[in-house]
Chain A
Amino acid sequence: MHKRVGLEVTVAVAEAVALCRIDMAGVYPITPQSHIAEHLSNLVADGVLDAEFVTVESEHSAMSAVIGASSAGARAYTATASQGLLLMNELLPIASAMRLPITMAIANRAVSGPLNILNDHSDIMPQRDTGWITVFAENGQESVDLSIQAFKIAEHPDVMLPVCVNIDGFQLTHMVEPVELPTQEEVDAFLPPFVPHATLHPSRPVTMGAFSMSDYFTEIMKAKDEAIKNSKKVILDVWKEWEEKFGRSYKPVESYRADDADVVLLTMGSMGETAGLAIDDLRARGIKAGLVKLRLWRPFPFAELKAAIKNTKKLIVTDRAVSFGGPGGPVFSEIKSALFAEASRPAAYNYIIGLGGRDVTVSDFANMVETVMADAGNKKADTYEFWGVRE
C-alpha cells in the first residue's frame, strides 16, 4: 500500500514521467501545461531525472525535437495545450506514420478566438484523425496511471504509435489531489527500457521519413490504421497488468449505475466525477439514471460502448467542443455513427457544455437528465444544444 500524498496533478504527472526514466523532454510553456514542464525541469536540475531537457522555441519545434529524439531511440516526452497543440498539428500525423512511440500530456484548453486559457476539448478534437492513441483522465490518480501506461502501450512492438493523455486544464491540472505514486522499482518492473526497431545511428544507417507517391501511400495509411486498431488488445493487456500490480482498474468505457438506467449521461474527462454525483442525487430521488464515461477515444471502443448503453432508452452525450454547422459535437457524431447499424438504439441527445471553462455543476447534470426525461416524444433527440447559453 502506497502513501497517498496531496500533489498538484501537473506535479504528480511530472513525477510519474520521471519514474518512467525518459531520456529526453522537449517542451514549450503554455498555460495550463507549464507546471508539468517546470516540475520536470526541476527534477532534471536536481539530478533526480537523467534526461536531456530541451527548451525549444515553439510547440512546433517541441514536437519536431521529440520526433528527432525518438527516432534516435530515446524515450521522448512532451506536454502542451490549446494553441500549442494546434501548432503541433502538422507533425502529429508524421509522428504516427513514422511509428514513433512518443507520449504527450495535453492539459486540455479552449482554442482561440477569443483567447481563453480555461478548459474544454476544442484542442484535442481537431487532432482526432492524426493516428495518435488518445485517452482521457478523470482525476489526478488516473492522470498519473495513464501517463505511465502510455509509455508501455506506445513502445509495445505490436503498437509503436504515439499516445496522448488528456488532462482537463485547471479543473484537473491545477487541483491538489490525493495521489499514490508507484515506487521506482515498481515502475522499472512494469516498464522495461525502450527497445526501438530502428534508430538514427551510424551502426546501422536507415532512412526515415522517406517520400512516397501514390504507389505506396495508401498502403502506408492502411498500415497505420491496422496498427491503431491492433493497439486495442495491447491497451487492454496493459490495463489488466496494471490492475494486477497496482489494484486500479482501467476500461475503455466505464459504467456507473448504468446497467438498469432509463437515461444515461455520457462524459469524457474530469466532468465524470461531477456527473457521478448527479447520478447519485437522481437515484436518491428514484430516477433511474446512469453514467457512462468514455476513457479511450482512439482507437474507438465500439463494442464496449454498445454494451454499456444497450439497455438504456435515452442517451445524453455531453460534448466539450463544437463542430460548427455539423451534426452535433464531435463525441455525439462519433456515438451516433457507432450506433447507426444497431437494431435498437437509444434516443440520443447532445448537450455542448463547459466551453472555455464554463462551470458545469451537479445540478446542471441532474437538470439535463430531467429535461430529457420530460421530452416524452423524443422530439429533441438527434439535435444538439448549447447547455446554459445566454441568447
Chain B
Amino acid sequence: MNIVENFDLFAPRLINHQELFSPGHRACSGCAEVLAVRLMCKALGENTVIASATGCMEIVSSMFPTTAWRVPWIHVAFENAAAVASGVEAGLKALRRKGRIDDRYVKVVGMAGDGGTMDIGFQALSGAMERGHDMIYVCFDNEAYMNTGIQRSSGTPMGASTTTAPAGKVSIGQKTWKKNMPEIMVAHNIPYVATVCPSFPLDFVRKLQKARSIEGPSYIHCFSVCPTGWRSPSHSAISMGRLAVETGVFPLFEVENGHYSMSPDMPRKLRPIRDYFKPQGRFRHLTDEDIDLIQHKVDTEFQKLVEKTKYLKTGNE
C-alpha cells in the first residue's frame, strides 16, 4: 500500500515500496523519528532483524497484542539494544554456518534514542562496536528523554529547556554541550559512521544502504525532530530538520574508513542558528548573548568538521 499520493510518479525506483513499518502505530502527530524509522526499514529491506531499546519507538510500535513491525523485531530493555543485537548477530551467524537456517544474508540492526545510546546504553554500544559485529546501530536522537517526559540527556543541546534542566531565573536550562556521539564512534575505528535526517530522505536512504552493504559495524546518527518535546508546531518537523542541517547545528556527513565527507545536501553558506531556534519553545528563553555563544560553538564545530573533510588524508587503511 502506498500511503503517499502519486508515490510511483515522484520516486520511481528510488525508495523501496514496501512498508515494513506499518501505519497504525501510536507516535505523536508530527513525529519525525517515526518517519525516520519507516525510511530506515525501506532502505534496509525485509532481510533485516531489529533489536530496539526501550523508548518512544518501542512503546508506539509494539503494544501487545499488536505490532507495527513487518520485519523481525525484539525489545529487551533500555540499555542493551547493542548487546542484544550483537547476540542476534552471533546466533544467526552460527546457525547459518551450521546450515540450520536458510542461507540468506540478514542484517542485524540495533536502535535506541539519544538516552539509550549516549547515556544508559553507551557501554553496551561501545562494546558491540569494538567487537566488530556485522551490524548497524542507529541512534534516533531527539535530544532528550521524550518517552518519559522531556528530561535532559547528554544529547540535549546547550540552552534547551527540559523538565530536569529547566530554564529559570538563574538557569538557561541545559548547561552542557551536546555529546559528540558520531566522533566517539569514529574513534572506535569502525568502517562506517554517518549522520542522517529524515528531512533529507534520499541522503538518508543512501547512507543506510551503504551501511547495509558494509561488513562489520556501522553507526548511523539520526536527527529526529520531536515537536512534542521541543515545543514546536507538529506540522513543522520536516522543516525543522532542514533548518538544523542548514544552520550547521546538525551537519550531514559520513566517515568511511576514517575518511570524512560532507553530504551534498549541505549548503555552502550556513544560515544563522536564530532561524532554527526561533520556532522552538525549548529555546524561547535564550537571550541574544546566549544565542551568540551557541552560534560561536556551532561555527567552531562545523569548521573542525570542514577541516576534517578537506585536510585529513589518513584513514584506517
Contacts and interface: CB of A to CB of B under 8 A. Distances in A.
B88 A200 contact: yes
A315 B25 CA distance: 58
Contact of B91 (A58, A71, A208): A71
A99 to B, nearest CB: 13
Contact of A73 (B100, B123, B126): B100
B130 to A, nearest CB: 8
A185 to B, nearest CB: 18
Contact of A50 (B85, B86, B94): B94
Contact of B127 (A51, A61, A68, A98): A61
Contact of B86 (A56, A76, A210): A56
A26 B90 contact: yes
A50 B92 contact: no
B123 to A, nearest CB: 6
Given A208-B75, A210-B67, A56 B91 contact: no
Interface in A183-202: 193, 199-202
| Interface residue range, chain B | 35 or more
Contacts of A66: 87
Contacts of A51: 94
B74 A200 contact: yes
Contacts of A68: 51, 74, 76, 83-91
Contact of A60 (B72, B83, B88): B83
A153 interface: no
A72 interface: yes
Nearest to A66: B87
Contact of A213 (B63, B71, B123): B63
A69 B87 contact: yes
Given A60-B80, A64-B76, A211-B64, A202 B48 contact: yes
Given A56-B83, A202-B48, A212-B64, A91 B91 contact: no
B79 A52 contact: no
A65 B86 contact: yes
Given A56-B86, A69-B87, A201-B92, A207 B127 contact: no
A118 to B, nearest CB: 28
A205 interface: yes
A219 to B, nearest CB: 10
Interface in B172-213: none
A64 B84 contact: yes
A66 B95 CA distance: 14
A94 B90 contact: no
Contacts of B84: 64-65, 67-68, 71
Nearest to A215: B64
A216 interface: yes
Contacts of A98: 76
Nearest to B86: A65
A200 B72 contact: yes
A237 interface: no
A72 B11 CA distance: 35
A23 interface: yes
B119 to A, nearest CB: 15
Given A57-B126, A64-B83, A73-B100, A202 B62 contact: no
A98 B102 CA distance: 24
Which of B47, B88, B93, B102 counts the most chain A CB atoms within 10 A? B88
Contacts of A58: 123-124, 127
Contacts of A202: 46-49, 71-72, 104, 106
Interface string A46-83: 00001110111110110011111111111010000000
A201 B91 CA distance: 11
A200 B49 contact: yes
B70 A216 contact: no
B75 A54 contact: no
A51 B86 CA distance: 14
A284 interface: no
A210 B90 contact: no
B97 interface: yes
Residue from B59, B63, B104 with most neighbouring chain A CB atoms (10 Å)? B63
A206 B69 CA distance: 8
B94 A52 contact: yes
Contacts of A193: 100
A57 B73 CA distance: 23
A211 B63 contact: yes
A90 interface: yes
Contacts of A210: 62-65, 67, 75
Q: Which of A60, A76, A193, A207 has the most CB of B within 10 A?
A: A207
B127 A56 contact: yes
Interface string A274-298: 0000000000000000000000000
Contact of A61 (B49, B80, B93): B80
Interface string A95-129: 00010000000000000000000000000000000
Interface of A: 23-24, 26, 50-52, 54-58, 60-61, 64-74, 76, 90-91, 94, 98, 193, 199-203, 205-213, 216
26 contacts: A23-B91, A23-B98, A24-B87, A52-B90, A52-B93, A56-B127, A61-B80, A67-B84, A70-B87, A72-B87, A72-B95, A73-B95, A73-B101, A199-B72, A200-B72, A201-B102, A202-B48, A203-B101, A208-B74, A208-B75, A209-B62, A209-B74, A210-B64, A211-B58, A211-B62, A211-B64
Q: What 7 pairs between A and B have smallest CB-CB spacing? A: A68-B87, A57-B127, A65-B87, A69-B91, A72-B91, A74-B91, A64-B83
Interface of B: 46-49, 51, 58-59, 62-65, 67, 69-77, 79-80, 82-95, 97-98, 100-102, 104, 106, 123-124, 126-128, 130-131
